[in-house]
Chain A
Amino acid sequence: MHEIRIGEDLREKNEAIADENRKLLAAKKIVSINVMSAPGAGKTSLLFRTIPMIRKKHAVGVIEGDIQTATDAEKIATLGVPVYQIETGGVCHLDAAMVHSALHQLDLDSIDLLFIENVGNLVCPAEFDLGEDARVMLLSVSEGDDKPKKYPLMFRESRLLLLNKMDLAPYVSFDVEKARRETLEINPKLDIIEISCVTGAGLDRWVSWIDAFIETARRR
């Protein structure tokens, strides 16, 4: 019996395709945001509320990722923006190859801001670079304030944390200060905005964040 050294990272293949996506998006001058969270944290509701607020300023396109069903894409399509649904068929995250195929299904000349809504999952999506410019994650207060330390990777990898369903905070004993403190221990550079997609609270700050991020991304 003998040893064969390999030393290959399992993410290398994905990284190579993610780099292609990055080049394609840069060539088309599209800024892309990968939206990640656990299932039911409000990713689709966030996009549904946000797109009408920004569409005069930005030409938005959306890639929806789900294990099954196209209901999210159908909901976004009612807003009249280009949307493509990826059904992963059992896979619990999007990978760069799935997004690469989706990019060829969208008219990239007609959009300048692309939201990629990942599969609802607090773990695996954080390991898969899609070629995006920024990762934004949602944590809804009903999930509990212990989630940052239980699932640190996504908090570490994100640029912005949206604390969603803040209208429910009084009912679910979510300690906002604890969540902020522990999240910033994991990722001191993380921006945090408290929002509610039901009442609309905080969405103006999220929209300002998008505007500022696009400015920064375009200067690069």
Chain B
Amino acid sequence: MKNLLDIVDRAARDEGGGPVRVVHLRIGEMAGVSEDALRFAFDVMAKGTAAEGASLEVEKVPLRIRCAGCGSNSNPADFVFICPECGSRDVEILAGREMEVDYILVGDGSAESENRGG
């Protein structure tokens, strides 16, 4: 969490442009993160940092795997790491482990007015 706030602080300071309004995260289905715990910690720890008062957006990234045997991609259900096409157990994770700060929105005004202004 401290690392998240440090990243936001640094970006907001380096780029300038006013207060941070939105912090947008991408969190994988298989990341070891609880969204509830994340939101709670963000609310508590953001006070006194550049992220204070910003809203936290959490984008969920579904688990996606690639089979090393037949090369097909799939979204495994119930964490079964077996290729549904050929049955191979030699699969790698393409997505679903993310735990990243994708972007932040800074400045005055709301996201809505920005969108209307095109």
Enumerate chain A residues within 8 angstroms of B21, measured Cβ to Cβ: 1
Cβ-defined contact, A9 with B100, below 8 A: yes
Cβ-defined contact, B79 with A127, below 8 A: no
**Given A4-B106, A8-B7, A187-B81, 4 new contacts (CB under 8 A):** A5-B102, A8-B100, A156-B81, A185-B81
Q: Tell me the nearest residue of chain A to B6, going by C-beta.
A: A13
**Per-residue A-contact encoding for B77-118, CB less than 8 Å = 1, 0 else:** 011111000000110000000111111111111110110000
A126 to B33 alpha-carbon distance, docked (Å) = 10
**Per-residue B-contact encoding for A1-23, CB less than 8 Å = 1, 0 else:** 11111111111011000000000
A153 within 8 A of B: yes
> Considering only CB atoms and an 8 Å cut-off, how many residues of chain B contact the other chain?
37
A3 to B105 alpha-carbon distance, docked (Å) = 4
A127 CB, nearest partner CB in chain B, Å = 4
Enumerate chain B residues within 8 angstroms of A2, measured Cβ to Cβ: 17, 105-107, 114
A126 CB, nearest partner CB in chain B, Å = 5
Q: Tell me the nearest residue of chain A to B89, going by C-beta.
A: A188
B4 within 8 A of A: yes
Cβ-defined contact, B7 with A6, below 8 A: yes
A121 CB, nearest partner CB in chain B, Å = 9
Cβ-defined contact, A149 with B78, below 8 A: yes
Q: Which range holds the interface residue count of chain A?
A: 20 to 34
CB-defined A-B contacts under 8 Å, sample of 5: A10-B7, A13-B3, A156-B30, A156-B81, A188-B81
Q: Tell me the nearest residue of chain A to B79, going by C-beta.
A: A152
**Per-residue B-contact encoding for A149-165, CB less than 8 Å = 1, 0 else:** 10011101000000000
Q: Which residues of A, 1-59, contact B by the 8 Å Cβ criterion?
A: 1-11, 13-14
Cβ-defined contact, A3 with B81, below 8 A: no
Enumerate chain B residues within 8 angstroms of A186, measured Cβ to Cβ: 79-81
Q: Which residues of B, 9-54, contact A by the 8 Å Cβ criterion?
A: 11-12, 15, 17, 21, 30-34
Enumerate chain A residues within 8 angstroms of B98, measured Cβ to Cβ: 9
A100 CB, nearest partner CB in chain B, Å = 15
Cβ-defined contact, A1 with B103, below 8 A: no
Enumerate chain B residues within 8 angstroms of A187, measured Cβ to Cβ: 81
A90 to B80 alpha-carbon distance, docked (Å) = 34
Cβ-defined contact, B101 with A8, below 8 A: yes
Cβ-defined contact, B79 with A185, below 8 A: yes
Enumerate chain A residues within 8 angstroms of B8, measured Cβ to Cβ: 6
A192 within 8 A of B: no
A123 within 8 A of B: yes
Cβ-defined contact, A1 with B110, below 8 A: yes
